[in-house]
Amino acid sequence: MNLDIVPDKLGSPINYKVLVIIGILVIGFHIVVNILEDSNVLIYGFSMIIPASVSVLGFLTARRYAGTLVYSRAYTMLGVAFLLMFFAEFTYFVYEQILDLEPYPSIADVFFFMFYPMLILYLIINIRFFAPQIPKIGMATIIGTPLFVTLAYIYLTISDIGSFDFYYGIIFVAAASTTLGLSIYASSIFKGGLIGTAWLVLVIGILLDVVGDTWYYYIEAIETYTLEEPVNLFWYSSYLLILYALYKHKKSL
């Protein structure tokens, strides 16, 4: 495969019925786990299987793009990111369901945190290749988003200043919102049709994941997170959207 040639558009268009089905599945699953008395294993199972599937498909796509200038490296970073997410969810499961220990904070947070640098690398690789000249509004988005979100987090949780959760949350919110800023800018590039609708779906999936993560650390700072929280809707939607986008990428090759 030529190092300098990559597809501008994916030949296989998005099936919007699939997106509707994803929405129904996510909402339905959330309702079910809130109805069941003991849904922890079901929630953890979903939370582990989907990131693992995204990781596998990411690595397969990277392998299929082997020899290209950008895609192989980018998809490898994406595969590693979701492999780390799987490790994090699995560690949480072991701590809470097997060892009966509080999973937050724990070694799982190392995996959760390393998820962000891998996503950031994925986004930077694509941004540098497809839009190497970042306009002022793009730079404002990339820098302004993490600044605004982190300051908003500090404002909303200022009553907990001095606590472990307050400072711990700042680290993760800053990392998550940095990824969010890059995702928003990347989505503006992809929305223009530079590399197809499937890329936009993939980045929106990443964006939903980051929003969910930011919300999660806010919850942990002001109260106790539970597996039935609505924030899970963002993660479920994110994983399924990214999985679908990767499937469309791979199918179009």
Name the domain count of the chain.
Answer: 1
Name the phi and psi angles at 84, rounded to 5: -65, -40
Residue 1 in domain:
no
Cβ atoms 62, 71 nearer than 8 A: yes
Q: What is the pLDDT along the chain (253 residues), one digit of tens a residue?
A: 444 444 444 445 678 899 999 999 999 998 998 888 888 888 899 889 999 999 998 898 888 888 887 888 999 999 999 999 999 999 999 998 999 988 878 899 999 999 999 999 999 998 898 888 999 999 999 999 999 989 988 998 888 888 888 888 899 889 988 998 998 888 787 665 545 677 778 888 888 988 888 888 888 777 777 777 889 899 899 989 988 888 876 665 5
Residue 2 in domain:
no
Supply the pTM of this predicted model.
0.84
Residue 5 in domain:
no
- 234 vs 250: CA distance, rounded Å: 24
Domain of 41, in residue numbers = 16-252
Residue 148 in domain:
yes
Residue 167 in domain:
yes
Cβ atoms 71, 250 nearer than 8 A: no
